[in-house]
């Protein structure tokens, strides 16, 4: 009887672990922030799609702290908006507007 209970418990834990790993993330591209050590207040944000193709690029003249959740969330939202469009975006202020930065 003990072996049966232990076996059932092991199978239950294994089933729970399998379902936890089946999460499907909806990753639709990525963004990269580039900066120069000599010019720390000038940063370039590049947005890429799933095929590693550049879809948007913007230069920002203020220091972005990408460790902040608010900054990462704003960049992710810009990426989502860019992924909804199929052509290259001509507007040059998407990041500055989403983060309320001054030029």
The residues spanned by each domain of the chain are 30-99
Q: Identify whether the C-beta of residue 56 lies closer than 8 Å to the C-beta of residue 94.
A: yes
Q: Is the pLDDT of residue 21 over 50?
A: no
**31: its two tokens:** 């963004």
Q: Is the pLDDT of residue 98 over 90?
A: no
Q: Is the pLDDT of residue 81 over 90?
A: no
Count CB-CB contacts under 10 A for residue 60.
19
In the three-class reduction of DSSP (H, G, I as helix; E, B as strand; rest coil), residue 20 is classed as: helix
* pLDDT, mean of residues 55-64: 88
pLDDT score at 20? 44
% of the chain with per-residue pLDDT over 70: 71
Q: What is the DSSP letter of 57?
A: E
Question: 38: left (phi > 0), else alpha (psi -120 to 50), else beta?
Answer: alpha
Query: pLDDT category, 27, cuts 50, 70, 90?
Result: low
In the three-class reduction of DSSP (H, G, I as helix; E, B as strand; rest coil), residue 78 is classed as: helix
H or E stretch at 18:
helix 2-20
Query: pLDDT category, 45, cuts 50, 70, 90?
Result: very high
């Amino acid at each position: 009887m003990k072996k049966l209970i232990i076996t059932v418990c092991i199978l239950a834990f294994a089933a729970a672990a399998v379902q936890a790993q089946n999460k499907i993330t909806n990753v639709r591209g990525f963004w990269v922030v580039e900066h120069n050590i000599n010019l720390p207040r000038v940063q370039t944000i590049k947005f890429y799609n799933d095929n590693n193709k550049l879809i948007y690029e913007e230069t920002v003249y203020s220091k972005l702290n990408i460790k902040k959740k608010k900054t990462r969330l704003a960049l992710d939202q810009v990426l989502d908006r860019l992924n909804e469009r199929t052509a290259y975006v001509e507007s040059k202020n998407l990041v500055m507007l989403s983060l309320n930065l001054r030029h």
